[in-house]
Amino acid sequence: PGHQPSVQVADPIFLGGPVGTEVVFALVERAVSPGKGALQVAPDLYLAIEAETVDRIIEKESDHARFLLGMVVWRPGELQDEMKRGLWYEMKTDPGLVLRKKTEGMWEELVQRSEDSASAI
């Protein structure tokens, strides 16, 4: 609330998962790391978790970012097991899609893309 640049961000904050919901994370599209503690999750897509780095993204490049509260955490091997059981879809990362401003219907679109890709094999 006291961070003035945050007030200027018009986009919503998304729920990333049930763990760590007191912390704001940022997914940001850029060719190089946005700063300390950022993890590259795909080509041209970074996850910023350090407060200082997230604040800098809010201040200087919020139009190329998506902000989230919380995350999902799996035990070792749990995600792989869920993938084998068909509980998750896997597809090529597209930063433009991940950060798309219009999110209405995105889930259905992604499911359709994944099903189309799986049936093409």
Q: What is the pLDDT of residues 26-75, one digit of tens each?
A: 999 999 999 999 999 999 999 999 999 999 998 898 888 999 999 888 99
Among positive and negative, which fits the CA dihedral 85, 88, 91, 93? negative
- Dihedral sign of CA atoms 48, 56, 20, 104 in order: negative
- Tell me what the mean pLDDT of segment 110-121 comes to: 77
- Rounded Cα gap, residues 76 and 59, in angstroms: 36
pLDDT above 70: residue 121: no
pLDDT in tens, 1-24: 676 677 777 788 889 999 989 989
**pLDDT: which is higher, 81 or 63:** 81
What pLDDT, on a 0 to 100 scale, did the predictor assign at position 114? 82
Stretch 83-101: mean pLDDT: 84
* Average pLDDT, integer, range 98-119: 84
Q: What order of strands is seen across the sheet that includes strand 65-71?
A: 13-15, 65-71, 19-29, 45-48, 39-42
pLDDT of residue 29: 92
